[in-house]
Amino acid sequence: MIAISMSSVTTLIGALGLTSTLRTLFAHADHRLTVEAFAPLGARLLLSAGVPLAAIGAVGVGLVSGTRNPALLATTAAFSITALGAALGRETLHGLGHHAAAVASDLFPPLLQLVGSTLLWRAGDLSVTSVLALGALGYAGQICFCLWKSGFAWSRRQATSWGQLRGLIIISLPAMLAGVGNIVMWKGDRLILGTVSTNAEVGIYGTAASLADLAWIVPSAASAILIRRVASVGNLSSLSHWRRRYVSITAVLAIGAAGISFLVMHYVLGGEFVRGLPAAYLLCGASVLLASSNIDLSACQGLGDFRSGSIVTSTGACAMVIAAIPLSLPVRGHRLCERQRLGICRHGHIRASARSGPHSAVAPGPRRAWPRGMKISSSRAATQHSETAV
């Protein structure tokens, strides 16, 4: 759990915000960014940022978990690098409008891990290293699938330069801050819990959080569609409609996820896992607020206003980390409900986020100059606040 969480953090930082901006760049009708141009740029990014950050993440896993197993640390680094490449490929498909293919590509790594882990478990060879190796292999397969579905042809690849990659990174930095804030909120609670509690506690909380994530499936998939739609039309005319629809769907899914959590943790897992039910219920309820927040952040991304999202998510992530410090200290000789309280911190930024979307008092920052061949038309940019009464 700690290895996967750390890999998620390093993967997001290594993308330098491109996993968010790619959807916007590919969606605009007047863009000139092609798959043949971006694939070489993505390879440069993997070498220059992905590899060093994956190594740092592997060292971080060793420090947090206390392991010194070279095979485990190397596999963690490989997992991070391939996860970054798969994320770039998936967002490219979303930006091109191939949403079904992008979602389908995300199914391959977990399915391979599930089948492979089951076979290894039956053979008595299951380990954390083997699970991470299966995940890295699955992400490598996802990269190949995304290249195939995007229509990339090696013979048609375009010459690129480090200057072009630098231009992409410049406009993506605010999106990177927003993404880091999101991932700290999403995974940081488990890392914090891992430093102040036992592996068993982390496992119980991680199970509860994973079950609660079932309520987040539909809104997460809808964000890609909303980003592309807002980017293509350049206004927020359909935002209120999307909010009502997906908040309602999330509320229904949250009730279902709470019921599934009860059945799984009571009758399937049992034992100590029953203690994680309060955390599961709390996170299921918070998913409704998270869905509303995600609609606002997706609208910001579609308009190219990445600064507002970075302000909101960074503030929320800092609040979670600061609040988690005193809550993790020993009180009356024991830890004071760490799983449930860290769950509260995990979603503590949602109310602020729901108020700080593209139609809030948080003014969007100045738009950065888009690199040549990737300029968003000024007419569309001018409509950013024309329909804020939603």
Confidence grade of residue 306 (pLDDT, cut at 50, 70, 90): confident
pLDDT, residue 360, reads 41
Query: Mean pLDDT across the chain, nearest whole number?
Result: 70
Which residues have C-beta within 8 Å of that of residue 203, sequence separation ≥ 6? Answer: 1
The answer to whether residue 21 scores a pLDDT higher than 50 is yes
Confidence grade of residue 95 (pLDDT, cut at 50, 70, 90): confident
The predicted model gives 331-344 an average pLDDT of 41
Give which of 25, 1, 364 is closest to 200, Cα–Cα: 1
pLDDT, residue 284, reads 86
**pLDDT tens profile 117-159:** 888 888 887 787 888 888 889 888 988 898 888 877 766 666 6
The answer to whether residue 34 scores a pLDDT higher than 80 is no
The answer to whether residue 319 scores a pLDDT higher than 70 is yes
The answer to whether residue 378 scores a pLDDT higher than 60 is no
**pLDDT tens profile 251-289:** 999 899 889 888 888 888 777 788 888 888 888 888 887
pLDDT, residue 389, reads 28
- Read off the amino acid at residue 9: V
pLDDT, residue 8, reads 64
The domain locations on the chain are 1-160, 187-384
Confidence grade of residue 343 (pLDDT, cut at 50, 70, 90): very low
The answer to whether residue 374 scores a pLDDT higher than 50 is no
- Token readout for 128 is 């954390």
SS (H, E, C) 175-221: HHHHHHHHHHHHHHHHHHHHHHCCHHHHHHHHHHHHHHHHHHHHHHH
pLDDT, residue 358, reads 43
Give which of 344, 207, 213 is closest to 336, Cα–Cα: 344
pLDDT, residue 255, reads 92
CA 131, CA 115: separation in Å to the nearest integer? Answer: 10
Per DSSP, the residues of 285-306 read HHHHHHHHHHHHHHHHHHTT-H
